[in-house]
């Protein structure tokens, strides 16, 4: 969590109008850094959900015993998206989908950056492409996007599955944040074509061009989206191969059937060590 506040602070320091939020994040960054270090020193063992998180905790407390076990999903519960069999047309244009809690700062930053800097580049080549922002509690900073005819802000929905099912491309334009992006794992489990920033898949050991496409600059991000849309309008071989690879990757690495045995083994080891330590006490 301290890394999230650190990234927020460093981002805001580049914008004079956001000096007060930057100051707040700096204070929280230092408080959380001290708190997390204190907890790590007291714990018999620490679980991190990714190697970057493990490294961050080890920087705080080099002696901490930090084990990486990724967060997971019920991969078998997800089916390939219906959109994978559809070809976009002017009458039924492709839809780019982003999902998330829309009062969460990294998500707000992501969709504003995408709408302002990436979507216009996509529209130069394919003006009918739509952008759906799916998630509860849309922040007032997003209100201006409602005026755009190709952008839809849904607010809270009962089920995101229908939106994912009809997504032409799932976009992850995150520039700040931390932890595991469950949204990415869920989209991969459905075999959706995905374009993400490098930070958007931080801690998920994917390969650019195999399970998804990575891009960090607006031009590259737009080009990656268009590459997927062009593939779907042609023969769809690239998106099919990428979707199959993504689904296989999640099933092999992030399914609960793979993760739960590791968790159980870790807890059993800790209990044995604690029991032995207790018995050896005078």
pLDDT at 91: 47
Q: Are residues 208 and 81 in the same domain?
A: yes
Distance CA 170, CA 161 (A): 13
Q: What string of DSSP letters covers 256-268?
A: HHHHHHHHHHHHH
Q: 182 CB contacts (<8 Å, ≥6 apart)?
A: 71, 73
**Is residue 119 in some structural domain?**
yes
Are residues 176 and 86 part of one domain? Answer: yes
Per-residue pLDDT band for 28 (boundaries 50, 70, 90) equals confident
Domain boundary among 25, 49, 69: 69
For residues 79 and 63, membership in a common domain is answered with: no
Please state which of the ranges 4-18, 205-219, 256-270 shows the lowest mean pLDDT.
Answer: 4-18
Percent of the chain with pLDDT over 90: 60
Q: What is the CA radius of gyration of the chain?
A: 21
Measured CA to CA in angstroms, residue 65 lies from 55, 74, 266 at distances of 11, 28, 12
The mean pLDDT of 190-217, rounded to a whole number, is 95
- CA 114, CA 221: separation in Å to the nearest integer? 9
In whole angstroms, give the CA distance from residue 17 to residue 19: 6
| Residue bearing the bigger pLDDT, 10 or 46 | 46
Q: Is the pLDDT of residue 75 over 70?
A: yes
Banded model confidence at residue 21, pLDDT cuts 50, 70, 90: confident
> What average pLDDT does the structure give for the chain?
88
Question: Within 13 Å and on the Cβ side, how many CA atoms surround 232?
Answer: 25
pTM for the model stands at: 0.81
Mean pLDDT throughout 61-71?
91
213 - beta bridge partners? 195
136 and 230 inside one domain: yes
Cβ-contact 222, 122 below 8 angstroms: yes
Residues 38 and 95 in one domain: no
pLDDT single digits (tens) 221-262: 999 999 999 998 887 789 999 999 999 999 999 999 999 999
**Is residue 16 assigned to a domain?**
yes
185 CB neighbour count, 10 Å cutoff: 24
Q: Is residue 269 part of a domain?
A: no
How many domains is the chain built from?
Answer: 2
Instruction: Give domain status of residue 204, yes or no.
Output: yes
223 and 202 fall within a common domain: yes
The yes-or-no verdict on residue 90 having pLDDT over 60 is no
Q: Which structural domain range is residue 206 located in?
A: 75-253
Q: Which of 128-137, 196-205, 226-235 has the highest mean pLDDT?
A: 128-137
């Amino acid at each position: 969590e301290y890394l999230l506040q650190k990234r927020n602070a460093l981002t805001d320091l580049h914008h004079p109008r956001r000096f007060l939020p930057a100051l707040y994040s700096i204070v929280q960054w230092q408080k959380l850094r001290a708190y997390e270090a204190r907890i790590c020193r007291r714990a018999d063992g620490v679980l991190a959900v990714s190697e970057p998180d493990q490294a961050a905790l080890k920087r705080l407390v080099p002696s901490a015993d930090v084990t990486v076990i990724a967060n997971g999903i019920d991969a078998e519960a997800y089916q390939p998206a219906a959109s994978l069999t559809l070809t976009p047309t002017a009458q039924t244009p492709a839809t780019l989908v982003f999902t998330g809690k829309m009062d969460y700062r990294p998500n707000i930053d992501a969709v504003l950056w995408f709408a302002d800097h990436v979507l216009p580049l996509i529209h130069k080549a394919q003006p009918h492409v739509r952008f759906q922002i799916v998630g509860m509690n849309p922040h007032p900073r997003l209100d201006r996007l409602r005026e755009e005819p190709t952008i839809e802000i849904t607010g809270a929905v009962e089920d995101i599955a229908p939106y994912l099912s009809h997504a032409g491309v799932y976009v992850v334009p995150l520039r700040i944040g931390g932890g595991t992006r469950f949204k990415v794992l869920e989209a991969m489990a459905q075999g959706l074509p995905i374009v993400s920033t490098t930070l958007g898949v931080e801690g998920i050991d994917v390969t650019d061009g195999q399970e998804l496409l990575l891009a960090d600059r607006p031009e590259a991000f737009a080009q990656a989206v268009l590459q997927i849309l062009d593939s779907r309008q042609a023969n769809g071989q690239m998106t099919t191969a990428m979707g199959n690879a993504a689904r296989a990757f999640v099933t092999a690495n992030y399914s609960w059937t793979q993760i739960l045995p590791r968790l159980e083994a870790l807890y059993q080891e800790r209990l044995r060590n604690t029991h032995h330590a207790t018995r050896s006490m005078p």
